[in-house]
Amino acid sequence: MRPELRVVGEVPSDVDAIGSVVASPQAHPEAGYLAAVGFSGKAGESATLPGSPMRVVVGDCDPRRLGAAFARAVKRHRSAAFLVPEDCAVGPFAEAALLASYRFSKYKSAAEESALERLDLVTSQASAALDRARVVARAVGLARDLVNEPGGVLTPQVFAERAAEIAATTGLEYEVWDESRIAAERLGGLLGVARGSTQAPRLVRLAYRPDMADHATIALVGKGITFDSGGLSIKATNFMVDMKYDMAGAAAVVGAMSALRDLTCPTAAVAWLPLTDNMSGGDATRLGDVLRTRNGVTIEVRNADAEGRLILADALALAAESQPDAIVDIATLTDAVPMVIGRRYAGLAGNDEAWIARIAAAARRAGELVWPMPLDGVERKMLDSKVADVVNATGNRYGQSAVAALFLKEFVPDGLPWAHLDIAGPAFADEDDGELTAGGTGYGVRTMIELLMSPDGARTP
């Protein structure tokens, strides 16, 4: 990803812009000018000072907001340098600068691209952190690229092909199941959702195994609905327009997996990606139909727009069969989470408090926001069906995110630590904000990488 990052001991003579932190603009030699342009030193705020090279001052804040604010301020310049404070971690700064420079302009006739080709970080800190920042930012960018593709382009088959290409170039094992293999493997939830589409479903399995013999294995499950019309429970236009992002969970898993070999990750990871779109064709699953999933559990379909949990049911059962030490699923599952806690947070639930705590800690270190969701506020009997083992939707408007997580729990054996990340809010952004850019955000990539790379993540929960 652009720009090229370097750690240097002093400001190079050929840079077009120089940046620094100003926490107290009143004490700055050009305080009057800063006051005139309205610079107050707030977190993430920036202002330019006259002169050559251009000088940029940024309000005091955490390294991520600093990196993002500076990258945006100098995007029209070819080269820039930033005087990194000693208490500012260079890795998160660099990662955010790269992510803020991301653009998806494939379909723009005249795209506005960042002109920044080189960013020099003036610091005495070691440059090793830049290597990780580059790898992580590339992984997030990959996930963003997948999410930003139109649903008519990134069909299940195309997604599977791209996942296989990424796996081949990043040292991962991979396997792609076509529709006949999916049927042979008894993935009734995935087949049921796919029935209304002319696009055949796919199931992708990716695996990374570290070189050391003693390691834990974590299973990652990503929801891959490449476009969600709601099926026969069709969505209104304003709720459907961005539904190309309903595969953001699968995209995040692909992005995270792509980084593990380059980072020499100590934890093994096996990923399961069920891929289909949810359309309303002539043979679409009808309300009241019963689907039989991989582990034999039968599901009465009461809402065709509650399809993500149907494909995740099969993938979770497969993940459990692979006998990992723990499972994480990540999915744009319910609108209820962002309605309660906003667009920046993911909901986090699960069956093991220690595993949930480790994921929450990894998210904090990665700079991504999660909020725990209790499952004991809803009752299992809400999922009871008169004709099958469970229903996929209750019709009760209370606690819908927890109900969805409780449904997923049905497909994880007792005693196997499992956690669920509902990323319906943070997976897509309406506008640029800090290191996020409008469109797919790649949310979850950094959390999963941090979890797998950390000592806690490498041990059995």
Catalytic machinery residues: 235, 309
Measured distance CA(371)–CA(368) in Å, rounded: 10
Q: Where are the alpha helices (DSSP H) in 47-187?
A: 63-73, 90-100, 128-148, 156-169, 179-184
Measured distance CA(344)–CA(341) in Å, rounded: 8
Question: What tokens does 50 get?
Answer: 């006259």
> Phi and psi dihedrals of 448, rounded to 5?
-65, -40
Among all chains, which residue has been given the structure tokens 């934890």?
A: 267
Measured distance CA(292)–CA(220) in Å, rounded: 23
Measured distance CA(257)–CA(162) in Å, rounded: 13
Q: Is 460 exposed, middle or buried (0-12, 13-18, 19+ CB in 10 A)?
A: exposed
Q: Are strands 439-440 and 428-429 parallel, antiparallel or unpaired?
A: antiparallel
Helix (H, G, I), strand (E, B) or coil at 238: helix
Measured in residues, the chain has a length of 461
CA 229 from centre of chain: 22
Q: Are strands 290-292 and 298-300 parallel, antiparallel or unpaired?
A: antiparallel
Among all chains, which residue has been given the structure tokens 């199931």?
A: 203
As a whole number of Å, the CA-based R_g of the chain is 23
In eight-state DSSP terms, residue 344 is S
